[in-house]
Amino acid sequence: MKRFAFYLLPILLCFAVGLSASYFQSNSISEWYPLLNKPALTPPNGAFPIAWSIIYICMGLSLGRLIE
């Protein structure tokens, strides 16, 4: 169980940092980002939360391996 905490706590920390960043950037995301001239190959908006979640999990796992 202790080993599980070495991985779970850093993952939750990474998600907390991501949530706080989204809180501070919420106005920019809703007002500024849609007005940008984006290339045709820009991924759909639904791809970003999935990609960032995977990145946060990988960052948390890496941090957990360092702590362990």
What are the tens digits of pLDDT across the range 58-67?
Answer: 999 999 999 8
User: pTM above the 0.95 mark?
Assistant: no
Q: If DSSP states are collapsed to H, E and C, what string results for 2-53?
A: HHHHHHHHHHHHHHHHHHHHHHHCHHHHHHHHHHCCCCCCCCCCCHHHHHHH
Question: Of residues 1 and 38, which shows the higher confidence score?
Answer: 38
How confident is the model at residue 14, as a pLDDT? 95
> Measuring CA to CA, which residue among 68, 63, 33, 65 is closest to residue 16?
63
Query: What pLDDT is recorded for position 65?
Result: 92
Q: Are 14 and 53 in contact (CB under 8 A)?
A: no
**Cβ 11 vs Cβ 61: under 8 Å:** yes
pLDDT band (50, 70, 90) for residue 52: very high
